[in-house]
């Protein structure tokens, strides 16, 4: 199922093992994503995405599990980060949406 998953936002290319979901939907936030990463990688992903959340018109490239691709300019919206410390190492669960800049 996840033969293709890819997500690049600005200069951040998410390593494939950390991508849980890239989903394309209709509307002004056509790219939804979910990531899961262990502590150090999760901290890095959160930090970079929080930086980009403050910016506008960021270049992105995404590919879903079907191999369909989208790219363009976006703003990051609805960014949520949950840190699960029930086991070691802690896991970061990150989700968000890419809003098209038109």
- Report the distance separating Cα 89 and Cα 97, nearest Å: 26
Give the model's confidence band at 102: pLDDT under 50 very low, under 70 low, under 90 confident, else very high.
confident
Residue 70 φ/ψ, nearest 5 degrees: -140, 150
**Percentage of residues in the chain with pLDDT exceeding 90?**
92
The mean of the pLDDT values for the chain is: 95
Binning the chain into helix, strand and coil, the percentages to the nearest 5 are 20, 50, 30
> What integer pLDDT is reported at residue 2 of this predicted model?
45
CB atoms within 10 A of CB 66: 11
Residue 1 has pLDDT above 50, yes or no: no
């Amino acid at each position: 199922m996840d033969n293709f998953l890819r997500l690049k936002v600005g200069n951040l290319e998410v390593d494939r093992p950390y991508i849980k979901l890239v989903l394309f939907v209709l509307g002004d936030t056509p790219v939804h994503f979910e990531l899961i990463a262990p502590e150090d990688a999760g901290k890095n992903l959160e930090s970079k995405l929080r930086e980009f959340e403050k910016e506008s018109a960021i270049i992105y490239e995404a590919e879903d599990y079907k191999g369909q691709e989208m790219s363009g300019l976006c703003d990051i919206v609805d960014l949520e980060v949950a840190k699960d410390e029930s086991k070691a190492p802690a896991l970061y669960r990150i989700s968000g949406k890419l809003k098209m800049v038109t």
